[in-house]
Amino acid sequence: MQRRGTTLLALVAVVLTLSVLWYLNRPIIVKEATWEDVKAEAQSGGYRLIT
């Protein structure tokens, strides 16, 4: 029983480590902002654009 518990704990530690590494290094798709996006955001936020 001791051996089974140790093996299970080691397996959980490996899976948790790999999951964290994957989560931190996952690909993130960033949307490129266009000038129209900037103008819409400025208008909705009440900002004045300086150009």
Q: Report the SS3 class of residue 35.
A: helix
Distance CA 51, CA 47 (A): 13
* Domain housing 13: 2-45
Average pLDDT taken over every residue of the chain: 93
Question: What is the total count of domains within the chain?
Answer: 1
Whether the CB-CB separation of 49 and 39 falls below 8 Å is answered with yes
- Please check whether residue 51 lies inside any domain of the structure: no
Question: pTM here?
Answer: 0.54
Q: Which residue intervals of 1-51 are DSSP H helices?
A: 2-24, 35-45
In 3D space, the residue among 51, 18, 19 whose CA is nearest the CA of residue 35 turns out to be 51
In this prediction, residue 17 carries a pLDDT of: 98
- Please check whether residue 13 lies inside any domain of the structure: yes
- Please check whether residue 32 lies inside any domain of the structure: yes
Residue 10 confidence class, pLDDT cut points 50, 70, 90 = very high
- Please check whether residue 50 lies inside any domain of the structure: no
